Amino acid sequence: MSEVLDRKGIEALIPHREPFLLIDRVIELEPGVRCVAEHTFTGEEWYQAGHFPGNPIVPGVILTESMAQAATVGAMALPDYREGIGLFAGIEEMKFKRIVRPGDTGRFTATFAKMRRGFARVQVTAHVGDELAAEGTILAIFQPAAKVAAS
């Protein structure tokens, strides 16, 4: 199954909102298996004025969060995790290969290597066009809504 989601569709699945919703659209979605999302960096983002004045570069932590949000869509599209929450459990061997700047469109791919009882190991990449910008592994815990409400 492959779905396309706009921001409204993304917001129906994950709890992130402006100014911290860092993906604009999902172009591929196979829940619990793979998610591909995109974001076009405009230069108007809240962090851009200070990173760096006169030489704007998208911070690596923003790329990492964008990849994590793609993973969150992939997990929370599963019925068991809808209306729940996804939390980082770890980040392994994240590597940054290319500078991303305003005007670039990032394509964030999250491929689930493991997903069991709410724990996920997700291989993630960020590309601009055909160029690899970042890659690594995200470890995450996804909690269903009932568990979130009890916390």
Give the number of C-alpha atoms closer than 13 A to the C-alpha of residue 139, restricted to the C-beta side: 5
Phi/psi of residue 77, nearest 5 degrees: -75, -15
Distances (CA, A) of 42 to 4, 16, 91, 104, 134: 22, 19, 27, 8, 19
Active site residue: 16, 39, 51, 127, which one?
Answer: 51
Q: Which residues contact 150 (CB under 8 A, 6 or more apart)?
A: none
Establish whether 51 is a catalytic residue. Answer: yes
Taking the CB of residue 34, how many other CB atoms lie within 10 A of it? 18
Six-digit token string for 70: 């793609």
Residues classed as catalytic: 51
